[in-house]
Amino acid sequence: MSAAEKSPNGGEEANPRAEAFLEILGRVPAGEVEAALSSCGIGPTAEVAEQVLKSRVCYSRPKSAVRFFRWAARSVVHSAYAWNLLVDILGKAAMFEPMWDAIRSMKQEGGGELVSVATFASVFSSYCARGNLKEAAAAFDVMGRYGLKPNAVALNSLLSAMCRVEGCAQAAQDMFERTKAVVAPDADTFAILLEAWEKEGNAQRAKSTFGEMVIRVGWDAGNVPAYDAFLSTLVRGGQFDEALKFLQVMRTKGCFPGIKFFANAVDLVICKGDYTSAISIWQMMVSEAGLVPNFSMYNAMIGLCCNVGNIDYALDMLDEMPLNGVFANSVTYNAILEGFIKHHKAREAESFLTEMSKNEQLPTASNCAAAISLFSKEFNPSAAINVWRCVVEHHITPAEDSARELIAGLLDFGRLTEVKKRADEMIDMGIELPQSTIENMKHTFAKAGSHKSYDHIARRLKRR
C-alpha cells in the first residue's frame, strides 16, 4: 500500500512532509498545533501547504487548519490557491466571521491579486449549503469592495449554489432579475435556471426563462444543457407534444438537447406504441444530434420494431450496438426472436436461434414454447426438437409449456417413437403434463395400435 493510500489525506501522490504535518493535525489538539509543528523539525513549502489544506483532515478540523496556515505563513508565501482553500475550509465549517477575516487579509496582503471570483464562489457555496441565501446574495453585492467587478461567471456561481438548495429556484430567479441589468447573463446563466426549473417541475417558468434566453443570447448549438433541461421539463409536465414542437424549432436552428431528453422521449413514444414518432426521434438523435443511445434505449427500440414487424431495422440496430460500445444481452436477442415468432417468420426464427446459440444467449421459457409451437405449425418437427434440446441442456424453466407444445406437435406428425422418448425425458425432469396432453397421447397411440408404448408412459406417470 502506498503512502498516499495510508494517508489521512486519502488522496493523490503523497509528500512525506505533508504526511508528517497531517499526522500532527489529526492527533494534536488545535491549541497545541503550532508548537507541535515547530518542534517537528520539518519546514513547509508552498506546494506542501496546498496539499495539507486540501486534505480531509483540515476540512474536518478547521481550527487546526487555521493554525497550520498561520504557522506555514512564517516560512512561505501562501499561493492564491492556499488562501482560497482556507476560505473554503472556514466557510464549509460555517465559521463565517473568520472566513471574512481571511478574505480581508487576502485583499491586504495580495494587493487585490489574491481575491478572485473563485474565492467568492466558495463563499456562495458555503452560505447556500447552510440555507443562508440572503447572505450569499449580500456577498455578491460586496464583491466590488474587494476589487472584483461582478460578472457572468460570478453570477453563475451564485445562482448555481442557490439552485442546489431544494426549492430555491425562485430565489435564484429573483437574484437574476435583480442583477441582469448590471451583469449581462450568458448561456450558462440560463442553463442553470432551466435546470432548476426542471428539478422543481415548473414548466411555465421554464418556458418564460427559455424565451428570455433566446432573446438575450440567441441560439447556440453548444448550449445543450439548457435545451435538455427545458424539453425534459415539458415532458415531465405532461407537455410531450409541445416539447416535440420546440424540438423541431431547435432543429431548424441547428440546436439539439442531450441524451437525457431523447431517452425520455423515446421511452414515452415506445410506451404509446407510436412507431413513426419513435423512428423520427431516434434518427434525429443519432444522425443529426450525433448522440449514442444507451443500452436501455436500444433494447426498448428493438422491442418496438419487432412488435410492429420491422425486424430488419431491429437487426440493423443489433449490428450497430457494439460499434457504439453497447453490447446486447439476452433481453435484446429474445425481443428479436419474439418478433420473428409473432410475425410467423419460422425460417428466420430457426436461423436466429442458431445465432443466439453461437453468441451464448439463451431463449426465454416463453419464447421456447412459442418457437416449438410455430415450428410444429410450419411442419418442421426437427426444429421444434432442437428447441426442446436447448431447454433440457440449459435447464430453461419453467419447461411445462414447451413440453406440452412439443408433445402436441409430435403427436400431430405421428412421430410416436419420438413422443415416447421425450415423454420419458419429461417424466425424468419432473414435468407435469396436463391431463389433456395425456388423453391426446392415449388416443393417438391407441389409434396407431401402439398400446404397449402408451402403457409404458402411463405406468411411469402413475409411479410419480
Least Cα distance to 47 among 97, 88, 13, 95 occurs for 13
Q: What is the pLDDT of residue 11?
A: 46
Q: What is the pLDDT of residue 463?
A: 79
Query: Is the pLDDT confidence value at 3 over 90?
Result: no
Q: Could you report the per-residue pLDDT of 232-267, keeping only the tens digit for each? A: 999 999 999 999 999 999 999 999 999 999 999 999
**pTM confidence score:** 0.80
CB distance 119 to 125 below 8 Å: no
Q: Could you report the per-residue pLDDT of 306-335, keeping only the tens digit for each? A: 999 999 999 999 999 999 999 999 999 999
Cite the DSSP H helix spans in 164-294.
169-179, 187-200, 203-217, 224-236, 240-252, 259-272, 275-283
Q: How far apart are CA 225 and CA 206, in angstroms?
A: 13
How many CB atoms lie under 10 A from the CB of residue 398? Answer: 13
CATH topology of domain 364-464: 1.25.40
The Cβ-side half-sphere exposure at 394, using a 13 Å CA radius, reads 15
Domain borders along the chain are: 364-464
Query: Is the pLDDT confidence value at 6 over 70?
Result: no
Using 50, 70 and 90 to split pLDDT, how confident is the model at 2?
A: very low
How many CB atoms lie under 10 A from the CB of residue 93? Answer: 18
Q: What is the mean pLDDT of residues 81-100?
A: 98
Contacts of 66 (CB under 8 A, 6+ apart): 86, 89, 90, 98
Question: What are the start-end ranges of the E strands in 29-179?
Answer: none
Residue type, 244: L
Q: What is the pLDDT of residue 277?
A: 92
CB distance 439 to 447 below 8 Å: no
Using 50, 70 and 90 to split pLDDT, how confident is the model at 462?
A: confident
Residue in the structure block whose three cell numbers are 409536465: 237
Q: Could you report the per-residue pLDDT of 345-398, keeping only the tens digit for each? A: 999 999 999 999 999 999 999 999 999 999 999 999 999 999 999 999 999 999
